[in-house]
Amino acid sequence: MRREAWLALLILVPFGVGGCAAAALMPAAAIAYKGASQAKEASRPITDSEEYYVGRAVAARILSKYKLDQNPKLTQYVNEVGDTVARKSSRPDPFRGYHFAVLDTGELNAFACPGGTIFITRGLIQTCKSEDQLAAVLAHEVGHVADKDGINSISQARWTEVFTAMGKEAATMYGGSTVASLVSLFEGSIDDVFKTIVVNGYSRQAEENADAAALTELAKAGYDPNAMVALLTAMEAKGKGASGGIFKTHPPTSERLAKVKASVGQSPAESQGEKIRTERFKKIVS
């Protein structure tokens, strides 16, 4: 990502059904002007709109590492399944809603950017064997958004500095050296989130909470929560000896599997609805 792009502070990456990404810049002046009246509240919680804009910048950073999949039917399908579980989450309507996209890589992974932008890799989709299993992945990532795990990974001290700089910049309207300072602080905030979700991963507690939230979302949306058991079982088999992707940033799959099994109990017989969903999944994903 070129440094000039960050001069606008916030990068928006709207995803179309065709999986294309276009970049638009939100003027820093408007953000800085707003920040002037808020600088004195620098220690306050990050608002939903601020979380969204940070999340879009994180999404742009991820898209500098991975390419978007160009299958429009798959992208639309993932959005439909994702929206279905998101509506049943504890946070069904974040600022400007949820947006789901597929990354064109065989790596097994998924990323939840702050504010509701969620990526899933083609490799992880192909590991799924049904729509219910795909829903389990997306519900887990929605759980991270609902709990604000991404935005909470930003250092509070750094965010305080961002708002302080915003206030100063609003007063001078691009004067002096504050622009460079503000850009640096904002880039640091994006780094905090990017390193957490792509490099280091969330805490075990955050992952456990996301799994628990996913089970609730699946049940409320009409999916079989046992699909997560099946998916984690498949991931455990694929993850033997693997150290990259989702296996690097998440707790051992065996631990997740044991806890999920204890929560969902015995798997019921496959319903007619699940059979229909599985056939739909196979037609689109194959």
Give the pLDDT of residue 171: 46
Banded pLDDT at 9 (limits 50, 70, 90): very low
Where in the chain are the domains?
1-286
The whole-number pLDDT of residue 157 equals 65
Question: pLDDT band for position 22 (50/70/90)?
Answer: very low
- pLDDT band at residue 167 under the 50/70/90 scheme: low
The more confident residue out of 123 and 184 is 123
pLDDT (0 to 100) of residue 43 = 54
Which among 37, 10, 41, 11 has a CA at the least distance from the CA of 170?
37
CB atoms within 10 A of CB 40: 11
For 32-60, what is each residue's pLDDT tens digit? 444 444 444 545 678 899 899 899 999 99
pLDDT of 101 reads 98
pLDDT confidence of 245, banded at 50, 70, 90?
confident
Read off the pTM: 0.81
pLDDT of residue 222: 96
Interstrand relation of 117-121 and 99-103 (parallel, antiparallel or unpaired) = parallel
* 187: exposed, middle or buried (Cβ count in 10 Å: 0-12, 13-18, 19+): middle
